[in-house]
Amino acid sequence: MENVAGKVVAITGASSGLGAETARHLVKAGAKVALGARRLDRLEALADELGREHCAIYQVDVVDRGQVQAFIDHAVNTFGRIDVMINNAGIMPLGPLEMLRLDEWDQCIDVNIKGVLWGVAAALPHFKAQKSGQFINVSSVAGHKVRAGNAIYAATKHSVRVISEGLRQEVKPYNIRTTVLSPGAVDTELPLSVKAEGVAEGIAQFYASTAIPASSFARCVLFAMSQPEGVDINEILFRPTNQEL
């Protein structure tokens, strides 16, 4: 892939699913990856798989802005720069509002909205200083459509799109690109964050019958990254072919 080799890419939520598979594709294409997630053992195993010379790993919970800043500082200290920030960490606690799963609402907002904001805040000064960089923020089909039972999750993913569009307009003087990826059902651990009784079972069945491989997401990342510097791919919405929502 053109314009990917040699780039330094930081990925949150990198211990499994979209983040881990994207790291595999990036390293294969010649990039260096900084991998951040809560599960350090998973990061260690992924770094061994990819080759330690290609990776920097850091234990980070994206709800803690200090940890996110430390993660990006570690990436820059290891590789000398950062070229792409992939704000990928996310959860999907679905359930009707009447169930009043208030702690889940709180966590969803902290991870899916604030986690993206902390990633932007950590990487933006580096991008401004070098007059280049790319944010890749992960929304969802739910960031385009609201259904009964997904109001809070959809609200957070709509927010990712709004934040990304505002960011896109603001960073033009610094030659920074901004991309939103909105996947449908992809085969990851995301459905495991659905805990509501009577909802989790249906989501698990839906993903089992519909989800496409995480490599579909990774290819979208590489497509957006590989464009010439003057081309800014702002949004990619993709689904399994048989997904109606």
Catalytic hit among 58, 153, 174, 207: 153
Burial of 131 (0-12, 13-18, 19+ CB in 10 A): exposed
Cross-strand pairs, 137? 87, 180
Neighbours of 239 (CB within 10 A): 17
Is residue 115 within 8 Å of residue 87, measured between CB atoms? yes
The two three-digit tokens of residue 216, written as one number: 């579909």
The two three-digit tokens of residue 124, written as one number: 């933006």
Cross-strand pairs, 58? 36
The verdict on whether 174 is a catalytic residue reads: no
DSSP string computed for 42-53: HHHHHHHHH-GG
Of 71, 69, 111, which Cα lies nearest the Cα of 89? 111
Q: N- to C-terminal Cα distance for the chain?
A: 31
Active-site residues, by number, are 153
